[in-house]
Amino acid sequence: MGRTAGRGAGDTRRLVLDAASEVFRTRGTGATLDDVARQAGVSKGGLVYHFPSKDVLVQALVAAMLEEFRTAVHACLDPDDDQPGRLVRAYVRASLSLPDTGEAREASALIAQLVTAPEVAEVARADAARWKGDLAADGLPADVITLVVSAADGASVAPLWGATLRDDERDQLVARLVGLTTEAAQDR
Amino acid sequence: MGRTAGRGAGDTRRLVLDAASEVFRTRGTGATLDDVARQAGVSKGGLVYHFPSKDVLVQALVAAMLEEFRTAVHACLDPDDDQPGRLVRAYVRASLSLPDTGEAREASALIAQLVTAPEVAEVARADAARWKGDLAADGLPADVITLVVSAADGASVAPLWGATLRDDERDQLVARLVGLTTEAAQDR
DNA sequence: TGTACATCAGTGAACGCGCGTTCACTGATGTAC
DNA sequence: TGTACATCAGTGAACGCGCGTTCACTGATGTAC
């Protein structure tokens, strides 16, 4: 069979990327291209048509995941909040919001698995630098940003080594972190 | 050649474990047993004699690394500090002390790579539960522990995704986290 | 103390198979005339 | 509008090799007598 009717190439590409996200996040990088192809409902050859090697697929996945997190943070921006630190607060909420906390953990686990590859490490470094700039431009004192962002990062990846926070602990942490940023904004 | 003179079986075992730590941390889980054996100066067969499968080796390594971190924290305990929160402060220092920060990152990267394996995840979870208990017994309010430990965790693993703190930022963070614990201890 | 034997602590070659990659081929879609 | 041709978007089988595992064998160490 050749080209599949009713589906463009871009659709298939996204199908494969979604499948890769699912499979690699749950089973680690050791998962096979056969697994990904099966999950995507595409032949292995079809997968390879879009991503010529496993490396290429993995890099595309990392880029997509970083972009997705950025989008999630912006979706958490409070439209009624125009004080300094609004982006930091959105970052905290996006990192620790209940529904996708598991996803955030899996995402960081996957990125952790991949940064041993230099190209992936470089992509991640560039993204981190961009975050640092964006967050610094948010109007809060640098030390507050460091503290709050570190705590959000730590709490969201702690499940990696099995240290999950209870819901009430997490809620309390979010409240406290948001509080720290608003205090700092008013001190200025 | 058979048994190597002047070296006990336990010595060889440790040699292999050290080599595995070095190789897997720098090159990821994808690194081969050949690599580990070469680094240890042992034949592949010799490695297998001590660790019958790669899984077994990896589990032993994880256990050793978790134990090592625990030892490092206890080494950071301040003998002159008998206030509540002394263990939390040691945890902060051990996580963020300059020399072995890179090592801490590599260690968490490796554990992140491995938690997709259920046995490893279980070991890590048990270790995390033990930490939670130990830290809770340290005399500080729960919300302070959550905040401080999350921030220490976050700052120590952030290099995973390329977000390294500058030395002065890290020093400032340590000072602030330690400060938070002593304030909380005096409020009681 | 010497001798025989069992076990321990390895060696290194060979095996086998899982998995990434290659490849010949194909049906659907777009384009020129 | 039909026709011929090129390209796109795949299929699925075969290949090949890297790497975990197995195995036959060996020299050193411990133990019984």
* Interface touch B162/A132, C-beta < 8 Å: no
Tokens of B3: 């048994």
pLDDT (0 to 100) of residue B45? 95
> Which of A146, A155, A163 is nearest residue B169 as measured by Cβ atoms?
A146
Query: In terms of Cα–Cα distance, which of A14, A24, A10, A26 is closest to A55?
Result: A24
The predicted model gives A97-114 an average pLDDT of 76
- Which of B160, B168, B177, B183 to substitute to test the interface with A, most A CBs within 10 Å? B160
pTM of this structure: 0.92
CB A12 within 8 A of CB A4: yes
**A125 vs B contacts (CB less than 8 Å):** 162
CB A95 within 8 A of CB A104: yes
- Residue A186, judged by CB atoms within 10 A of its CB (0-12, 13-18, 19+), counts as exposed
CB B44 within 8 A of CB B32: no
pLDDT (0 to 100) of residue A58? 94
**A169 vs B contacts (CB less than 8 Å):** 142-143, 146
Residue B104, min C-alpha distance to chain A (Å): 13
Between CA B46 and C1' D29 the distance (Å) reads 17
Residue with tokens 């004699």: B49
Taking every pair of Cα atoms in chain A, the longest distance, rounded to a whole number of angstroms, is: 67
> Which of B115, B146, B151 is nearest residue A160 as measured by Cβ atoms?
B115
Tokens of B51: 């660790």
Amino acid at A122: E
pLDDT (0 to 100) of residue A69? 92
The torsion angles phi and psi of A110, rounded to 5 degrees, stand at -65, -45
CB B57 within 8 A of CB B51: yes
Between B1 and A175, name the one with better pLDDT.
A175
Interatomic CA distance for residues A98 and A166, integer angstroms: 10
pLDDT (0 to 100) of residue A105? 75
Interatomic CA distance for residues B43 and B137, integer angstroms: 46
The predicted model gives B23-33 an average pLDDT of 91
Confidence of residue A188 (pLDDT cuts 50, 70, 90): low
Residue with tokens 């390594």: B61
Q: Please tell me whether residue B54 adopts helix, strand or coil conformation.
A: helix
> Which of B150, B155, B164 is nearest residue A173 as measured by Cβ atoms?
B150
* Interface touch A150/B142, C-beta < 8 Å: no
Q: Residues A144-171: pLDDT tens digits?
A: 999 999 999 999 999 888 899 999 999 9
CB B108 within 8 A of CB A105: no
Q: For chain A, first and last CA: distance in Å?
A: 66
Between CA A2 and C1' D9 the distance (Å) reads 6
pLDDT (0 to 100) of residue B176? 97
Smallest CA–CA distance from B120 into chain A, residue:
A161
What is the CB neighbour count within 10 angstroms for residue A75?
A: 10
Interatomic CA distance for residues B140 and B24, integer angstroms: 37
Residue with tokens 């697994």: A35
- Spell B110-136 as b/e; 16+ CB within 10 A means b: bbbbbbbbeebbebbbebbeebbeebe
Residue A4, min C-alpha distance to chain B (Å): 35
Q: For chain B, first and last CA: distance in Å?
A: 66
Residue with tokens 């997709």: B116
Residue A7, min C-alpha distance to chain B (Å): 34
CB A163 within 8 A of CB A105: no
Distance of CA B143 to the CA centre of its chain: 24
**A142 vs B contacts (CB less than 8 Å):** 169
Q: How far is CA B103 from CA B73, B110, B127, in A?
A: 14, 10, 19
Q: Dihedral angle at the C-alpha atoms of B156, B157, B159, B161, nearest 10 degrees?
A: -160
CB B158 within 8 A of CB A152: no
Q: Residues B67-124: pLDDT tens digits?
A: 999 999 999 999 999 999 999 999 999 999 866 666 777 888 888 888 888 889 899 9
What is the average pLDDT value for chain A, to the nearest integer? 91
Confidence of residue B20 (pLDDT cuts 50, 70, 90): very high
CA atoms within 13 A on the CB side of A35: 14
- Which of B161, B174, B178 to substitute to test the interface with A, most A CBs within 10 Å? B161
Interatomic CA distance for residues A118 and A138, integer angstroms: 30
